[in-house]
Amino acid sequence: MPLISFANARCLVVGYGSIGMRHSRILGELGCNVSVMSRRVDAVDSIVSYDNISDALQSQQPNYVVIANETAQHHPTLEQLIELEYQGAVLIEKPLFNVPQRIPENQFSDLRVAYNLRFHPVVLALKSALANQKILSVHSYVGQYLPDWRPGTDYRQSYSAHAKSGGGVLLDLSHDLDYLSWMFGDWLKVTALGGQLSKLELSSDDIFSMLITYAECPIASVQLNYLDRLGRRRIIINTLDHTYEADLIQNKIVIDKDEEYFIVERDDTYRAMHVAMLLNQENFTCTAQEALKTLQLIDAARQCADATKWVGVV
């Protein structure tokens, strides 16, 4: 995708961890006027920065705010923007919140959630290929070894390792739950197993397996984990007519025995998502209500894991 200049876009990124840095860099590459709100102002290089949202809004007058702080801070940050009468567009880094809760009434021009894998060429091609197909079954798998996830950082200090900060595979890897709902409709029922099973030093869940029925898919099995040292993200779909396999690491789709590869650079999906937000394009971006349904699915999965009834060998 060629770079597009948005010289009139005034963007405020709230939070300057690894994902906040990425959003800031990409928006800068698009030509936006970028500022940052961070508690660690001293760690922000070469970008106008503030240690509170009020000063940032008053000084920069942004028309686009990206909330990229800890998941547990998303809802309070949203409420603060509302209290300060902000009326521009808002993109919240996924997941929407750390627990299901009401989306506060607001006067934002737009409110979306950063499930950027909706912009992945493999996901888009798969969704297109499945049009008018009768779905019989889906198997989705994503795994990445948490200690290797963010090079140069101690995983034990990351929010991913701490449930109170909004970490855990159900929230961290909820991209896959989002694009499944985007392709197969609302979830209808779920059962699940999972929790913290490994020797990793964390308080959050490191593996979950789920069985889900969607409006347009009777059987979907999903596994999310922090344990896979190879790093994999793939989905297998059986329809009445074909079998599909999409691999988001190898960037390929197999339809029956025919393979197609895609060229995907690391920042492509984020860049496409920001361009869609800046141009007010609503076709792919995830709405807050859609993201809330994903949170409700996650909450239901946790309840199932706590209270699953098993039928043993007679």
The Cα angle at residue 37 between residues 35 and 41, in degrees rounded to 5: 100
d(CA 301, CA 176): 14
DSSP, residue by residue, 144-201: --HHHHSTTS-GGGSGGG-GGGT-SHHHHTTHHHHHHHHHH-SEEEEEEEEE--SSSS
pLDDT score, position 149:
84
pLDDT at 314: 67
- Which domains are present in the chain? 10-114 (3.40.50.720), 120-268+285-307 (3.30.360.10)
**Contact (Cβ atoms closer than 8 angstroms) between residue 97 and residue 296:** no
Low-confidence stretches of the chain (pLDDT beneath 50): 1-2
Distances in whole angstroms, Cα of residue 3 to Cα of each of 33, 39, 119, 279: 15, 31, 16, 14
Q: At 131, phi and psi to the nearest 5?
A: -55, 130
| pLDDT for res 41 | 66
| Cβ-count burial 178-205 (b if 16+ within 10 Å, e if not) | bbbbbbbeebeebbbbbebeeebebebb
- Cα separation of 149 and 200, whole Å? 13
pLDDT at site 1: 44
Q: How confident is the model at residue 283, as a pLDDT?
A: 83
Report the pLDDT value the prediction gives residue 117, as an integer from 0 to 100: 97
Supply the pLDDT for residue 194.
95
**Residue whose entry in the numeric block shows the structure tokens 């896959």:** 176
Q: What is the pLDDT of residue 2?
A: 43
Half-sphere exposure of 179 (CA within 13 A, CB side): 30
d(CA 230, CA 223): 15
Question: Within 10 Å of residue 261's Cβ, how many Cβ atoms?
Answer: 12
What pLDDT does 152 receive?
A: 81
